[in-house]
Amino acid sequence: MEENSKIKILIIEDDHDIRDLIRLQLKLQNYDVAVASNGAEAMSKIESEQFHLFLIDRMLPDTNGLELCKLLRLSPKFKEVPIILVTALSQPENIIEGLDAGANDYITKPFDINILHARVRAQVRLIKPKKDLKLLDFGSLKIDIEKCSVKISSESVALTNTEFQILTTLALTPGIVHTRESLILKILGDDVHVTNRTIDTHIAGLRKKLKECAKFVETIRGVGYRFQDNE
């Protein structure tokens, strides 16, 4: 039970009663639980947090749970994180679609609470322990989060605190697109009044200092930025 507190689970479910029921049951087992009521809220949390297991309702008001599964499987950060689909669609073809989309398991509504716990336990047992990321190594670019230092080919790069926070936020989630608004909220806080141009200015300064490694910070036109490390 104590070890469960290290497991963070995101429940993506639009039905208030079912969402609260699952959250309560998992919290009683001492899991660290977060919730989202739609796809947009889920993606906001996924961009900025680390999760070890997803419970996803197949039918959401703004997206399909299958699409969320596919997006997660394309993410370097979450491609191996277990997914359990929770849905009222119980036909064999529905289950096959869910598994083909990347889900590890499939629970149909209404469900028995004991079965929910057993399915969650089964996926948690498969989670591989990972060391806390303190040193990010991208070849010539190395980021030491604990020491707040950045080096390019062994040469130290002097970044401002904001530039360092932007770089580490992007580098910790390679391939994930961060909107300008989410970067402002995460790095500068919601009590600081700034515009999207503020982030653009910081990014420009960061790229200038990164020189040949500026290629890692990719602009997604009209949306924001992401860290691209597969070149």
CA distances from 214 to 106, 136, 158, 177, 204 (A): 42, 16, 14, 16, 9
Instruction: Kindly report the pTM of this predicted structure.
Output: 0.57
Q: Which pLDDT belongs to residue 121?
A: 92
Q: Which pLDDT belongs to residue 185?
A: 75
Looking at domain 135-227, which of 1.10.3720.10, 3.20.10.10, 1.10.10.10, 1.20.1510.10 is its CATH number?
1.10.10.10
Minimal CA–CA distance to 188: which of 162, 224, 217, 164?
162
Q: Where in the chain is the domain with CATH 3.40.50.2300?
A: 2-125
Q: Which pLDDT belongs to residue 195?
A: 61
- Give dist(CA 71, CA 188) in Å, integer: 28
Q: Which pLDDT belongs to residue 128?
A: 55
Q: Where in the chain is the domain with CATH 1.10.10.10?
A: 135-227
Q: Which pLDDT belongs to residue 222?
A: 81
Divide the 231 residues of the chain into consecutive groups of 10 and give the mean pLDDT of each group.
76 94 94 94 87 93 91 85 91 89 91 92 76 76 90 93 90 83 70 65 94 92 82 48
Tokens of 101: 């989309």
* CATH, domain range 2-125: 3.40.50.2300
CB 88: neighbour CB atoms within 10 A? 13
Q: Which pLDDT belongs to residue 193?
A: 52
Minimal CA–CA distance to 116: which of 85, 159, 80, 77?
85
- Give dist(CA 84, CA 105) in Å, integer: 5
Q: What are phi and psi of 20, to 5 degrees?
A: -70, -35
Torsion, Cα 167 168 171 175, to 10 degrees, reads -80
